[in-house]
Amino acid sequence: MQELLTIIAKGLVEAPEEVKVEADDPAEDGTVVYHIHVAENDMGRIIGKQGRIAKAIRTIARSAAIHNDEKIMVEID
């Protein structure tokens, strides 16, 4: 999952070398939180107008997680 999020984020930003995806330890209910870190100049590119790109990233990640029987959340930091 971490690799999928990294590939998606690197494809959207101007500074792909600054993309970093970190995963927290699973919570009590088994949910894993992934944090996407990008350069400050690329925040608009990763969030998109009215958050549409961020929502699309979360949708893709959730569907991949369901396929692997996982629960996830994606946060953009």
Q: Which domain holds residue 71?
A: 2-76
Say if pTM beats, i.e. exceeds, 0.85: yes
β-bridge mates for residue 48, sequence order:
none
User: Residue 77's pLDDT is what?
Assistant: 86
Contacts of 74 (CB under 8 A, 6+ apart): 5, 33, 34, 36, 54, 57, 58, 61
| Count: domains in the chain | 1
Please give the sequence-ordered ranges of beta strands (E in DSSP) within 31-70, or none if there are none. Answer: 31-37
Rounded average pLDDT over 26-35: 94
pLDDT in tens, 56-74: 999 999 999 999 899 999 9
Q: How far apart are CA 26 and CA 4, in angstroms?
A: 18
Q: Can you give the pLDDT at residue 59?
A: 96
- The CATH number of whichever domain residue 37 belongs to comes to 3.30.300.20
